[in-house]
Amino acid sequence: MILNCVAYENGRKLADIDVEAISDWLHRPEAFVWVALRDPTHEELRKMQEEFNLHDLAVEDAIKGLQRPKIEEYADTLFVVMHLVEPDNGDLQVGELAVFVGHNFVLSVRSRSQQNFLGVRARCEREPLLLRHGAGFVFYALMDAVVDRYFPLIDDFESELEQIEDAIFEHGTARGSIERLYALKRRTTMLRHAVSPLLDVVGKLYGGRVPEVCTGTQEYFRDVHDHLARINNSIDTIRDTIGTAIQVNLSMVTIEESETTKRLAAWAAIFAVSTALAGIWGMNFEHMPELKWAFGYPMALAVIFCSGAVLYWRFRKTGWL
């Protein structure tokens, strides 16, 4: 689906144009065209390939999707893939934004995502002085919008991790905490797969030999790189904390099992003494004075009860019961 096809010149929006008119606008020296697609068909992408003279390999990657975040140069055109990560019923849904950038055009292709970039277009149109930079600034604005949408996910991860940490020391929550920690770790890994490769390649856009379309906007891409570095560091911190929390949780499970074992051992010791005394008086030897004594039975019960009570008191004092 073609969402927008707009021509700009000298930082100002000129007109919404038809796809067939794109090639005419590309010949205007101060103009550039910004086209946005969502879940396009193969025919739509092939049509854009003809209009913008896109490389076959880049178009093939955009058609197939499921690409690793990357930035590739094809002559004077950049092909960029970024992951769109969004919450989805307690899990994460990963979409994709593929961007083709030339000196006089920007083509964005959004796939498998409900996020929109209308705010990005509005932001660019509100800043005509920056929009004078042309396709390079639009490319920065799209990338900046994608990266900024990672920050709320980091905040959600940190809040959930704090809740899990608060519940770790509550009795009987070990299994649930382990499940939540592993689910959080999986979501964190999904975000890491979106951030880490992009962090590695954004440095090409502001340091050393930068692509021609990014000339004049290097400082903006350096800002994006700083944001990605912050997000990546936060992800590393969260993952380390999750690992520590898992170890603490497993230690709590071991402690709870040890407490149960001690209780069982204490009660077993109490009943073992009672069983031993009952076994002694139950041997029925002929020369056992207690058997003929009138108070033998009460005395045996008293000894058994007192020995059990002493053991119970000792175990309570040592914390086993």
What pLDDT does residue 291 have? 67
Amino acid sitting at position 278:
A
What pLDDT does residue 21 have? 83
What pLDDT does residue 285 have? 63
What pLDDT does residue 153 have? 94
For residue 146, is it within any domain?
Answer: no
Quickly count: other Cβ atoms within 10 Å of residue 30's Cβ. 11
8 A C-beta contact, residue 212 and residue 144: no
8 A C-beta contact, residue 83 and residue 108: no
Of 96, 116, 131, which residue sits at a domain end? 131
For residue 312, is it within any domain?
Answer: yes
Of 102, 131, 160, which residue sits at a domain end? 131
What pLDDT does residue 223 have? 92
The span from the CA of 105 to the CA of 22, in Å, is 9
Where residue 244 falls (left for φ over 0; alpha for ψ -120 to 50; beta otherwise) is alpha
Helices 118-126 and 135-148, interaxial angle, to 10°?
A: 130
Q: What is the CATH number of the domain that holds 295?
A: 1.20.58.340
Q: What is the pTM of this model?
A: 0.79
Quickly count: other Cβ atoms within 10 Å of residue 35's Cβ. 22
Distances (CA, A) of 300 to 279, 280, 305, 308, 312: 11, 10, 9, 12, 18
For residue 231, is it within any domain?
Answer: no
Domain ranges, residue 121: 1-131
Q: What is the CATH number of the domain that holds 71?
A: 3.30.460.20
DSSP label at residue 68: P
For residue 306, is it within any domain?
Answer: yes
Tens digit of pLDDT at every position of the chain (321 positions): 778 889 988 889 888 888 888 888 888 888 889 999 998 888 888 889 888 888 988 888 888 878 889 998 888 889 999 999 988 887 888 999 999 999 889 999 988 888 888 888 888 988 888 888 888 899 999 999 999 999 999 999 999 998 888 887 777 777 788 888 889 999 999 999 999 999 888 888 887 777 888 888 888 889 999 999 999 999 999 999 998 888 888 877 777 777 777 777 777 777 777 777 777 667 766 667 766 677 667 777 777 778 778 777 777 777 766
Give the total number of structural domains in the chain. 2
| Beta strands across the sheet bearing 12-16 | 12-16, 2-9, 31-38, 105-111, 91-102, 77-88, 70-74
